[in-house]
Amino acid sequence: MLSATDAKKVGARLSAAALTLIAFSITSRIFQSNITGLSEATLAIISAVIAIIYPFVGAAASGTSLIFWSLSRGSGFALVIALIYAAFLVKTLRRWWLLPILMISLSLSIGVQGMELISIAMLLAAVALMEPKEAATITLLYALLLSFTVALSFPQTPTTNRGMMIIPTAGVVIPQQSSSLYDIFSIKTVETASYLLTIYIQLIFSNDMLLLLQIFTFAVSGYTISKLTRTANSRLALLYAGVLSSGLI
């Protein structure tokens, strides 16, 4: 029979596989790319199996669909997305479970109307367990990834509401012939990425810098809920921490 310690380890590994599979499935439904049918199912199963052995590696694969979807919008766009995703990977090295939760939250925020409160609640609940500075960094990266994706890939409108953020959209990134991963490392890709970042920065400072304020607020909310959670000594205090952080957003 398994000892209590062994049973706990097995449960943790199975939880890693389940969470990775759920995150991969939701992300692939929202960020649809040229990976379809059995290929998508195969990648999901492989990621889940890897998560049993190496939880972080499997969890890192939960954002595969996001990367391939961004490639279908151009290599320059994909480069920026990949860099932000890489930053997520670095910040979640010691917490494999955080990345799948972030991908689920991002997918729900972008692709499912009416799920904003749930997605933000997931985000804040996840970062509440981190150090305050790390929590602020994670929520900052999340806000950047969410706003960059929506601002450039959604049709041009004055503003759109996604993930509790009011985001001006430029519509400059449109579906096209999918680029390959090798295209990301070309000089032309860097130039395109620089151009897209220029547009994004212009959007940040438009509308009385409303988007900049929201990005800053996300970072403050992450720091606040983490700080208050660590100093709270009762369930009521934890509730106040969650309400305050959500109110900031």
pLDDT class for 58, splitting at 50, 70, 90?
confident
DSSP 137-148: HHHHHHHHHHHH
Q: Tokens 């403050």 label which residue?
A: 220
Task: Say how many domains are in the chain.
Answer: 1
Q: Given this model, what pLDDT does residue 237 score?
A: 46
Mean pLDDT of 121-145: 91
Give the Cα separation of 17 and 22 in Å (integer).
Answer: 9
Residue 31 contacts by C-beta under 8 Å, 6 or more apart in sequence?
65, 66, 68, 69, 70, 107, 111
Q: Which residue has the higher pLDDT, 37 or 15?
A: 15
pTM of the predicted model as reported, rounded to 2 decimal places? 0.87
Q: Is pLDDT at 2 greater than 70 in this prediction?
A: no
Q: Given this model, what pLDDT does residue 109 score?
A: 92
**Inter-residue contact 10 to 52 (CB < 8 Å):** no
Residues 88-103 pLDDT 10s: 999 888 888 899 999 9
Residues 7-18 pLDDT 10s: 667 777 788 888
Instruction: Show the domain range for 159.
Output: 4-248
DSSP 7-47: HHHHHHHHHHHHHHHHHHHHHHHHS--S--HHHHHHHHHHH
